[in-house]
Amino acid sequence: MPSGILKFFPIVHWVRLTTRKDLAADIFAGAITTVLLVPQGLAYAMIAGLPPVVGLYASILPAVLYALLGTSRDLSIGPTSIAAIMVAAAMAGAGAGIDPVAGAVILSALSGLILLAMGIIKLGVFANLLSQPVLTGFSSGAAIVIMADQLRHFAGIELPSGLQPHEMLAYLGGRAAILNPQTLVLGGVALGFLLLTIGTVRGGRRRHVMFARFSPVLVLVLGAIAVWGLGLERVPVVGEISARPPVLDITMPGAGAWIALLPSAALISIIVFVESVSISKYLAGRRRQSIDADQELLALGSANVGSALSGALPVAGSFSRSMVNFNSGAHSQLASIFLALFTAATLLLFTPAFSGLPKAVLAAVIIVAVAGLVDLRSIPETWRYSKADGASNLVTFLGVLAYGVEAGLVMGVLLSVLLYLWRTGHPNIAIVGRLPHSTEFRSIERHKVETWPDILLVRVDENLYFANVGHVQDMLTREFQKRPGVQHLVLVMSGVGFVDSSALKVLQVAIDTLRESGVTIHLADVKGPVLDRLRRTRIFEHMAPGQVFPTPQAAVTALTRAAEREKELIPI
Amino acid sequence: MPSGILKFFPIVHWVRLTTRKDLAADIFAGAITTVLLVPQGLAYAMIAGLPPVVGLYASILPAVLYALLGTSRDLSIGPTSIAAIMVAAAMAGAGAGIDPVAGAVILSALSGLILLAMGIIKLGVFANLLSQPVLTGFSSGAAIVIMADQLRHFAGIELPSGLQPHEMLAYLGGRAAILNPQTLVLGGVALGFLLLTIGTVRGGRRRHVMFARFSPVLVLVLGAIAVWGLGLERVPVVGEISARPPVLDITMPGAGAWIALLPSAALISIIVFVESVSISKYLAGRRRQSIDADQELLALGSANVGSALSGALPVAGSFSRSMVNFNSGAHSQLASIFLALFTAATLLLFTPAFSGLPKAVLAAVIIVAVAGLVDLRSIPETWRYSKADGASNLVTFLGVLAYGVEAGLVMGVLLSVLLYLWRTGHPNIAIVGRLPHSTEFRSIERHKVETWPDILLVRVDENLYFANVGHVQDMLTREFQKRPGVQHLVLVMSGVGFVDSSALKVLQVAIDTLRESGVTIHLADVKGPVLDRLRRTRIFEHMAPGQVFPTPQAAVTALTRAAEREKELIPI
C-alpha cells in the first residue's frame, strides 16, 4: 500500500495495478454510466429548483475529486434525488429570498466543509446517528414528496414551490379546470411507458434489466421528437440552455445567507455521508474489500467543495449509477474520471440538444426513478421485529410527509436516540445464587440456586450510566426493603462495560446510606478497564471494609468465612 | 399499604401511623422550615423578576398538594433559586413582552401539565437524560448567573434585566461613577456578615450550623432596622406589599404566549423533576425507604398546577429547606402541611413588616444561598475519571455562562447523549480461541488459546445497534482480509443484549456477501430474548447452512467434525 502523502490517494494504488484490459473496462463503464447520468443530472437539478445544466456541473469536478480521494472503487458521485429535495427544502425554509443557484452553492460549500471537518477530527462515527429504520422512513417520505412535487409538471401550470404533498393536491384539485391536456397526456404516456418497461423485465434477463435502466434516455428522446413533430406548443420544455455555468451570472449573498443555511447543510452532510457510505460498503463487501469511513469523509467533503466551486448543488453517491458502474465491469475510480470527461464533452457539445426536452417527460423520469425508494412494507416488518425501530421508521416517514424532509429527519433521529436510551434505561437486573455443586452463579428466578440470608448478590446486564442508574438504584432499594437481614451487597459487574460519573456518584451515595443501615457493598467480576478507571477515584477507600473480589464465588467464600469467625469470637 | 384510590395518597398511610409525639415533631419541623422559607420565597421571586409576595404564594397550595401526593416524607416543595432563574431566562427570551406574573403562571401551568402527562404515561425515565455532570455544570453556571444578576441591587441603579454576566459587568463598569454608596456598603456588610457566620461554623457543631442557616433572617431584620434607624433614604426597599395575589390584577395573555413559553416549560419541568427526585432519593436512602418516580411526577405536576392556580412561579424540592425539615425531626409530609399553614398566616398577618426590607440585603442573602451551588472542583475531578463526563460538565457550565441557562442546559444534554453513543459506538470486539484443556473461550490477544485456520470466532461485548454496527462491520471486513482461509464465521453473542433492525440488516448483507466468498456465518451463545426476537424474522433461513449453537465449544465441535467428514468423502 502507498505511504506518506500518497496514502490519501487510494487511486494511486489502483492505477499502478491497472492493466490494458482494466483500462478498457473503465472506459466502457464510464461511458455507460454517463448515458444514465445526463438525464438524471438534468432531472435532479429540476427537483432542487435549479437550471438543469447545473446537474451536469455537479458531475464533473466532484467525480474527479472523489475518484482521487475515495476508498470505494465503484461509488459514482454526483447529484442524487434525496440531496436535491433537501436543497429544495432548505431553500423553501431558511434560504427563502436567496437566489436558488447561490443557495445551492452555499449548501455544497458548507456541507463539504462540515464533512472535511468531521474527517479531520475522525468523527465518522457520528454519522451513525442515522439508524436503518430512520433512513428507510426518510427515503420513503422524501420520494413521495419528490413525486408530489413533480406532479406540477404534469399539470403544466406554475405552482408555488415548497408546498407539502397535501397542499399540492389541494392546490391542483382547485384548479383542475385549467390543467393543460397536452402535458397531462405526454407525461402520462411517458410514465406508462416507463412503468411498462420496468414491469416486463422484473425478474427478467440481464439484457432486459439494462434496457429498463436506459429506457429514461429513450423516452426523453421520443418525448422531444413528439413535441417537435406534433407541434405541441403548449408543452413547457427545458428551453435554451447554455454551457456557461449559471453561477457566473449571479452575485453571491453575504454571511447572513451562509449562517441561515448552516443547519440545513449539517443535515445534508449527514445524509450525503450515510447514503454514500452504505452504498460503498455494500459494493466493497461484494469485492471482499473494505472502505475507510474517515477517508470517505475527506473524499465526500472535497467532492462537495468541488461542486460549490463548479457552481452546483451538493453531491453524494448515487445507488443506481454506482450499480450500473459496478455491473458494467468498472475496475477502479478511473471509470469515474472517464465519466467526468464524457460528461464535460456532453456539456460542451450537446447542450443545445437538451433544449427541446419536455419538462413533463423529465418529471415522469423522476417519478419512476424515485418510486423504488418508497418502501412501506418495511414499516410493519420492522415493527414486528422491534416496536422501537418500527416507530422510528413510521415517525420519520410521517414526519417527512407532514413537516417536510428536514423536520422529519430531525424527528426520526431524536426519537431513535431517545428510544435507545429508554431501552438501555431499563436493564436486566438479576439477583443471583450459586448452582448446586458448582461455582457458577445464575438468576434465582430461572434456576434452583443456593442463597445466603446475609449476602445479596446482584448482577446488572448493562453499562451503568446516567440513563439507567436511577432504575438500578430503585430496584436495589426495593430488594433491601424485602430483605432486612442482608449485611453484604455484592454487585456482580460481569455485564458492565463502563460506569460513568453519574453512576459513580449514585454508588458513593449508596455506600454511605447502606453503611448507616449496617450493610457493606462489595464488587465482584469487575472488567479490567472498569477497575482501572475506578482506581482513579477514592471509591475503594470509601467502600472499606467492602472489597473487590475476582468472582462471586470468591466473595461468598470470604464473606461466609468472616461470618463464621465472628460467630466463633462472639458465641451466643 | 393502602390500595385502590388511596394508593395515590401516600400520606394516608403515614397519618394512620402518626403518634402524638410524631405530630409534635411535624409541627416543630414545619415552623422551623417556615422561618427559612419566608426570606427565601421573597428573594427567589425577586430572582425571577416577580413581586416578592409571589414567592410566598408558591409555598402554600403547592406544598399541600405535594404533601398529599408525594412519596418522599421529607421533601419541602416551593420556590427554588434554579427554577427562579429559569423563569427569568424564559421571560427574557420567549416571554419578552408578556407580563412577568402572567408568564410565571403560564410556566407553572405548562410545567405542571408536562409533569402530569409524563407521570400518567410513566415516562419518568426520560428525566434521566440529565446526567450528573450536566446537572453539576448547570447548577454551577446558573448560580453564577444568579449572583451576577443580583449585583445590580448592590449597585442601586436600575439595570436592564436578562443580561449575561459579562454584559452585566461591562454595564456596571461603564457606570461606576453613579453607583449608590449606601446600597453598596449595606449590601457589602450583609454579605460579609453572612460569609463570616458560614465561615466560622464550617465543620462546627450542629447548633452553630443551625445558627448559620438562620443568619439570613437575622441579617434581613438588622438590615431593615439599619435602613429605618439611619434614615438611608437612597436604599431601595421591597416597598408596600399587599397580601392580595398580584395575578388578580393582570389580564392573562392568549394562546400565543402559551405556545411561545412551551419549550422553556419543558426544560423547567425536567429540572424540577431531576432536582426534586435527587433530593428525595437521597433522604429516602437515609431512612432506608424508597420513592416512586412515576408517582413523584404526578405529585410535582400537581404542585406546579397548584402554583399556577395560586398565581405563582414553578416550584420544586428545595435542598436547603428539605435538609432543615429532615434535621428538625419531621416525621412525614404533615410537616409540609403545617409549613403551608404557617406561611399562609405569615402572608395574612406579617406582610406589612416586609415592606422595609432593603433589596441590597436580600441580594446578599441570595448570593450566599446560591454560592454553595458553584462546584468548579468537580470539573477536573470528573475529567480525571472520564473525559466524556468532564467535557459534559465543562460544556454545560460554559454554555450557561455564554448563552444562558436554557441554551447551556440543552447543549449539555445533547453533548452527553452524543458522547454516550460515541462510547458505545466503539465496542470491545475480541477474536477468541479455546483455552487449552477446557471449553472456555478467551481473547487471542490476552491468552494462549487454540485456534482453527478455517473458523473465525468473534465476540462483541455490546448490544448491536445503529451507532456501532458500522464499526463492527468494518472490523470484521479487516479481519477477513487478513485471513483468506476462513470458511466459517462464528459470532459469539454472550455480550449482546439486543440486536436492533439496523444491525439485523447489516447482518443480512454480511451473510450474502460472505456467502459469495464461500464463508458461512454461525451464531453461538445467543441470549434468550435476542433469540426470540431473531426467530420473528427470516434470518435463520437466510443463514442456512449457517447454524445457531448453544456455545462456542458446540460450534467448534460441529464444524471441525463436518470438515473431517468432507475430507473423508473427497480424498485428495
For chain A, say whether B474 makes contact (Cβ under 8 Å): yes
For chain B, say whether A460 makes contact (Cβ under 8 Å): no
B334-354 and B319-327 helices, crossing angle to 10°: 120
At residue A280, the 3 state secondary structure works out as helix
Q: What are the strands of the beta sheet with A441-443, ordered from one edge?
A: A441-443, A429-434, A455-460, A488-492, A520-524, A548-549
Question: Binning pLDDT at 50, 70 and 90, where does residue B207 land?
Answer: low
In this predicted structure, the answer to whether residue A2 has a pLDDT above a threshold of 60 is no
Short-list B511, B433, B518, B434, CA closest to B476: B511
Report how far Cα A422 is from the mean position of its chain's Cα atoms: 21
Across the interface, do B129 and A510 touch by the CB < 8 Å criterion?
A: no
Question: Binning pLDDT at 50, 70 and 90, where does residue B1 land?
Answer: very low
pLDDT at B269: 92
How far is Cα B94 from Cα A536, in angstroms, rounded to an integer?
44
In this predicted structure, the answer to whether residue B159 has a pLDDT above a threshold of 80 is no
The torsion defined by the Cα of B96, B97, B102 and B103, in degrees rounded to 10, comes to -10
Residues in chain A with CB shorter than 8 Å from the CB of B510 are 285
For chain A, say whether B371 makes contact (Cβ under 8 Å): no
Asked if B168 contacts B425 with a C-beta cutoff of 8 angstroms, the reply is no
pLDDT at B319: 84
Across the interface, do B290 and A478 touch by the CB < 8 Å criterion?
A: yes
In this predicted structure, the answer to whether residue B470 has a pLDDT above a threshold of 60 is yes
Across the interface, do B421 and A424 touch by the CB < 8 Å criterion?
A: no
How many angstroms separate the CA of residue B557 from the nearest CA in chain A? 23
pLDDT at B506: 84
Across the interface, do A285 and B513 touch by the CB < 8 Å criterion?
A: yes
Q: Angle CA(A367)–CA(A368)–CA(A371) in degrees, nearest 5?
A: 80
How many angstroms separate the CA of residue B382 from the nearest CA in chain A? 7
Higher pLDDT, A182 or B210: A182
pLDDT at B437: 85
Question: Binning pLDDT at 50, 70 and 90, where does residue B355 land?
Answer: confident
Across the interface, do A509 and B285 touch by the CB < 8 Å criterion?
A: yes
DSSP symbol at B213: H
For chain B, say whether A383 makes contact (Cβ under 8 Å): no
pLDDT at B338: 93
Residues in chain A with CB shorter than 8 Å from the CB of B285 are 477, 509-510, 513
DSSP symbol at B444: T
Across the interface, do A421 and B423 touch by the CB < 8 Å criterion?
A: no
pLDDT, tens digit, 9 for 90 and up, residues A463-501? 888 888 888 888 887 888 788 888 999 999 887 878 888
Across the interface, do A498 and B423 touch by the CB < 8 Å criterion?
A: yes
pLDDT, tens digit, 9 for 90 and up, residues A400-449? 888 888 888 888 888 888 888 888 887 888 899 998 888 778 888 878 99
Asked if B197 contacts B215 with a C-beta cutoff of 8 angstroms, the reply is yes
How far is Cα A80 from Cα A275, in angstroms, rounded to an integer?
10
Short-list A314, A313, A337, CA closest to A325: A337
**Main-chain dihedrals φ then ψ at residue B480, nearest 5 degrees:** -65, -35
Short-list B532, B509, B518, CA closest to A280: B509
pLDDT at B409: 87
In this structure, the strands spanning B455-460 and B488-492 are parallel
In this predicted structure, the answer to whether residue A547 has a pLDDT above a threshold of 80 is yes
Across the interface, do B385 and A536 touch by the CB < 8 Å criterion?
A: yes
In this predicted structure, the answer to whether residue B558 has a pLDDT above a threshold of 70 is yes
Most confident of A62-76, B158-172, B473-487: A62-76
According to DSSP, the residues that pair with A457 across neighbouring strands are: A490
pLDDT at A1: 46
In this predicted structure, the answer to whether residue A204 has a pLDDT above a threshold of 80 is no
According to DSSP, the residues that pair with B549 across neighbouring strands are: B524
Q: Stretch B82-108: mean pLDDT, rounded?
A: 90
Across the interface, do B417 and A417 touch by the CB < 8 Å criterion?
A: yes
For chain A, say whether B461 makes contact (Cβ under 8 Å): yes
Q: DSSP readout, B19-52?
A: -HHHHHHHHHHHHHHHHHHHHHHHHHHHHTTS-T
Across the interface, do A470 and B277 touch by the CB < 8 Å criterion?
A: yes
In this predicted structure, the answer to whether residue B572 has a pLDDT above a threshold of 50 is no
Q: Stretch A201-213: mean pLDDT, rounded?
A: 59
Across the interface, do A133 and B502 touch by the CB < 8 Å criterion?
A: yes
pLDDT at B126: 65
Residues in chain B with CB shorter than 8 Å from the CB of A385 are 501, 504, 533, 536-537
At residue B452, the 3 state secondary structure works out as strand
- In terms of CA atoms, which chain B residue is nearest residue A480? B288
Across the interface, do B290 and A474 touch by the CB < 8 Å criterion?
A: yes
Number of H helices, E strands in chain B: 23, 8
Residues in chain A with CB shorter than 8 Å from the CB of B290 are 474, 477-478, 481
Mutate to test the interface with A, among B462, B502, B512, B542 (most CBs of A within 10 A): B502
What percent of chain B has a predicted confidence (pLDDT) above 90? 23
pLDDT at B12: 76
Reported pTM:
0.74
Question: Binning pLDDT at 50, 70 and 90, where does residue A106 land?
Answer: very high
Which secondary structure element, helix H or strand E, spans residue A272, and what is its range?
A: helix A255-286
Q: Stretch A187-214: mean pLDDT, rounded?
A: 70
pLDDT at B509: 82
What ranges in A330-463 are assigned the alpha helix state H? Answer: 334-354, 359-371, 378-385, 387-403, 405-424
Name A369's Cβ contacts closer than 8 Å, sequence gap at least 6. Answer: A40, A43, A81, A216, A320
C-alpha cell of residue B346:
405569615
Which whole-number Å values give the CA distances from A453 to A433, A434, A450, A539, B285, in the listed order? 11, 13, 10, 26, 21
Higher pLDDT, B160 or B417: B417
How far is Cα B114 from Cα B112, in angstroms, rounded to an integer?
5
Mean pLDDT of chain A: 84
For chain A, say whether B389 makes contact (Cβ under 8 Å): yes
Sign of CA dihedral A253, A259, A264, A270: positive
Place of cell 404534469: A154
In this predicted structure, the answer to whether residue B201 has a pLDDT above a threshold of 70 is no
C-alpha cell of residue A357:
426536452
How far is Cα A24 from Cα A572, in angstroms, rounded to an integer?
95
How many angstroms separate the CA of residue A296 from the nearest CA in chain B? 13
According to DSSP, the residues that pair with A431 across neighbouring strands are: A458
What ranges in B121-245 are assigned the alpha helix state H? Answer: 132-155, 165-173, 181-201, 206-229
C-alpha cell of residue B287:
431512612
How many angstroms separate the CA of residue B471 from the nearest CA in chain A? 8
A60-64, A363-367, B352-356: segment of lowest average pLDDT: B352-356
In this predicted structure, the answer to whether residue A160 has a pLDDT above a threshold of 70 is no
How far is Cα B396 from Cα A466, in angstroms, rounded to an integer?
16
pLDDT, tens digit, 9 for 90 and up, residues A315-325? 999 988 888 88
Short-list A186, A254, A181, CA closest to A225: A186
A162-171, A504-513, B294-303: segment of lowest average pLDDT: A162-171
Q: DSSP readout, A38-106?
A: HHHHHHHHHHTTS-THHHHHTTSHHHHHHHHH-S-SS--EE--HHHHHHHHHHHHTTTTTS-HHHHHHH
Across the interface, do A424 and B463 touch by the CB < 8 Å criterion?
A: yes
Residues in chain B with CB shorter than 8 Å from the CB of A481 are 288-290
Report how far Cα B131 is from the mean position of its chain's Cα atoms: 6
Place of cell 393543460: A180
Mean pLDDT of chain B: 84
How many angstroms separate the CA of residue B467 from the nearest CA in chain A? 5
At residue B150, the 3 state secondary structure works out as helix
For chain A, say whether B565 makes contact (Cβ under 8 Å): no
Residues in chain A with CB shorter than 8 Å from the CB of B428 are 497
How far is Cα B226 from Cα B114, in angstroms, rounded to an integer?
45
Across the interface, do B125 and A513 touch by the CB < 8 Å criterion?
A: no
What percent of chain B has a predicted confidence (pLDDT) above 70? 90
For chain A, say whether B500 makes contact (Cβ under 8 Å): yes
Most confident of A226-240, B273-287, B307-321, B323-337: B307-321
Report how far Cα A383 is from the mean position of its chain's Cα atoms: 19
Higher pLDDT, B512 or B1: B512
How far is Cα A106 from Cα A84, in angstroms, rounded to an integer?
14
For chain A, say whether B285 makes contact (Cβ under 8 Å): yes
Short-list B505, B217, B462, CA closest to A381: B505
At residue B311, the 3 state secondary structure works out as coil
Higher pLDDT, A292 or A200: A292
- Measured from the Cβ of residue A532, the count of other Cβ atoms closer than 10 Å reads 10
- Measured from the Cβ of residue A329, the count of other Cβ atoms closer than 10 Å reads 15
pLDDT, tens digit, 9 for 90 and up, residues A38-67? 888 988 998 898 988 899 999 999 999 999
Size (chain B), residues? 572
pLDDT, tens digit, 9 for 90 and up, residues A226-247? 888 887 777 777 777 777 777 7
Across the interface, do B132 and A388 touch by the CB < 8 Å criterion?
A: no
- In terms of CA atoms, which chain A residue is nearest residue B427? A497
How far is Cα A464 from Cα B50, in angstroms, rounded to an integer?
42
pLDDT, tens digit, 9 for 90 and up, residues A72-105? 888 999 999 999 999 999 998 877 788 999 999 9
Which whole-number Å values give the CA distances from B262 to A418, A514, B265, B483, in the listed order? 20, 41, 5, 57
Q: Stretch B484-490: mean pLDDT, rounded?
A: 90
pLDDT at A417: 85
How far is Cα A136 from Cα B505, in angstroms, rounded to an integer?
11
Select from A131, A385, A517 the Cβ nearest to the Cβ of B466. A131
pLDDT, tens digit, 9 for 90 and up, residues A521-534? 999 988 777 888 89
Short-list B327, B347, B341, CA closest to B29: B327
Residues in chain A with CB shorter than 8 Å from the CB of B537 are 385
How many angstroms separate the CA of residue B196 from the nearest CA in chain A? 30
pLDDT at A572: 47
What ranges in A372-522 are assigned the alpha helix state H? Answer: 378-385, 387-403, 405-424, 469-482, 501-516
Which whole-number Å values give the CA distances from A436 to A490, A494, B549, in the listed order? 19, 21, 25
Residues in chain B with CB shorter than 8 Å from the CB of A293 are 470, 474
Across the interface, do A131 and B500 touch by the CB < 8 Å criterion?
A: yes
Asked if A554 contacts A527 with a C-beta cutoff of 8 angstroms, the reply is no
How far is Cα B249 from Cα A281, in angstroms, rounded to an integer?
67
Which secondary structure element, helix H or strand E, spans residue A115, and what is its range?
A: helix A100-120
The torsion defined by the Cα of A271, A273, A277 and A280, in degrees rounded to 10, comes to 100
pLDDT, tens digit, 9 for 90 and up, residues B254-305? 888 888 899 899 989 988 998 898 888 878 777 767 778 888 999 999 999 9
Question: Binning pLDDT at 50, 70 and 90, where does residue B323 land?
Answer: confident
